[in-house]
Structure 1
Amino acid sequence: MMITIRKANKEDAKKLKEVSDKAFLSDYVKYGECPGYGQTIEKICTTIVDPKRDVFAILCDGEVVGKISVVKENRERNYLGCLCIIPEYENLGIGQKAMRYIENYYKCIKSWYLVTPADKLRNHYFYKKCGYSITGKQMDGKVEVVTFEKIIK
């Protein structure tokens, strides 16, 4: 199993939509809303070319199986907007490789944060394993979410 990560381009938009929809379908069904589910290809293309964001495709043996979206806030802090892997490729260490890749790609970043549903304990376990800690809790629409943060020393 060969995992590669690269910057996404507009030609990846259709596949990234499929990945997001597969990865976030259960959240959409559970909560009735999910910002990662049902995005249009046009919106994904807009995100890919946005200078304040970077979108990466995660490939396994050449096939896109996940995505990472980063919002560049400032020279020392980034927001991890999305890290998703399609369900059939979960629990294979791909997410951990993706997190290490992103932290290495942005070597000057000292602080990362992200938001995930408060009741998604598998996500909590994963992010804690990657060095993140819960720093807050709030409502996002009808969904209670927690904020995770990681300080790079």
Structure 2
Amino acid sequence: MSIYIKLADFADCQKICDMQRIAFYDILTRYSDYDTNPACETVEVIQNKFRQPFTKYYFIMKDEEIIGAVRIVEIDKSTRRISPLFILPQFQNYGYAQLAMKCIEEAYKNISCFTLDTIKQEKKLCYLYEKLGYLRTGKEEQLRDNMSIVFYEKKFQKTQL
């Protein structure tokens, strides 16, 4: 089994949109967050993000099958933001998100910091990022009575050659 990331093309926007709806549906129904949940993004929103010169979308691949996707946003020369990353439901709980994160970090090994955020009440997601070495920044945003966003970062030391 091989997990890797593959750069998506503009023509893939509809596919990414459809996948997001499936992947984030359970979280949407659990929190009724119709303002920020990626399941509510239209294909036009994804197309607009895709056109941003500082954004790249990748498919998460298992062998030759698409199992998820990730958007990487350039914040500055040394920092990238992961938003969102998702694995389709039928592929969840097999460790693929962890492997995908390692692929992303390897693909961007020249940068010194990754940032991301997730729902604080989703303990499984918080555990995943913390297990991979992401630290809470201390910043939190309350979006709903039952839903807060918690922010993470992971800093890397660049090795001298």
When normalised by structure 1's length, the TM-score is 0.91
Partner SS state of residue 128, structure 2: helix
Indicate conservation of the 8 Å contact 2:114/2:153, yes or no: yes
The residue number in structure 1 matching 2:46 is 44
Q: Partners in 2 of 1:130 and 1:25 — Cα distance?
A: 25
Distance in 2 between residues matched to 1:64 and 1:39, nearest whole Å? 20
- What SS class does the counterpart of residue 73 from structure 1 fall into? strand
- Aligned to 1:19, the other structure's residue is in SS state helix
Task: Indicate the residue corresponding to 1:152 in structure 2.
Answer: 156
Q: TM-score, normalised by structure 2?
A: 0.86
Indicate if the aligned counterparts of 1:109 and 1:152 stay in contact, CA closer than 8 A.
yes
Distance 1:136 1:99 in 2: 22
Q: Distance in 1 between matches of 2:77 and 2:139?
A: 25
Match of 1:17 in 2: 17
Question: Residues 109 and 140 (structure 1 numbering): CA distance in 2 closer, same or farther, change over 3 Å?
Answer: farther
Map 1:1-150 → 2, pairs under 5 A: 1-33=1-33, 34-142=36-144, 143-150=147-154
- What CA distance in whole angstroms lies between the structure 1 residues aligned with 2:112 and 2:2? 29
Query: Which has the larger displacement, 4-13 or 68-77?
Result: 4-13
Distance 1:151-1:57 versus aligned 2 partners, 3 A rule: same
Alignment RMSD (CA, Å): 1.6
Match of 1:147, as an amino acid?
Answer: F
Distance in 1 between residues matched to 2:83 and 2:25, nearest whole Å: 17
Structure 1, residues 41-100: CA drift from partner, whole Å, max 9, x if none? 122122223111111111234332211111101111111111100111012222122111
Question: Offset at 1:29?
Answer: 0.8
Assess, with a 3 A threshold, how the Cα gap between structure 1 residues 140 and 13 changes in structure 2: closer, same or farther.
farther
Q: Give the length in aligned residue pairs.
A: 153
For the residue of structure 2 that corresponds to 1:5, the secondary structure is: strand
**Structure 2 residues not aligned, in runs of 5+:** none
3-state secondary structure, aligned to 2:76:
coil
Corresponding letter in the other structure for 1:133? L
Please report how far the alpha carbon of residue 139 of structure 1 lies from its aligned counterpart in structure 2 after TM superposition: 2.0
Q: Which has the larger radius of gyration?
A: 2
The percent of aligned pairs where both chains have the same amino acid is 29
Gaps (5+ residues) in structure 1? none
Distance in 2 (alpha carbons) for counterparts of 1:3 and 1:18: 21
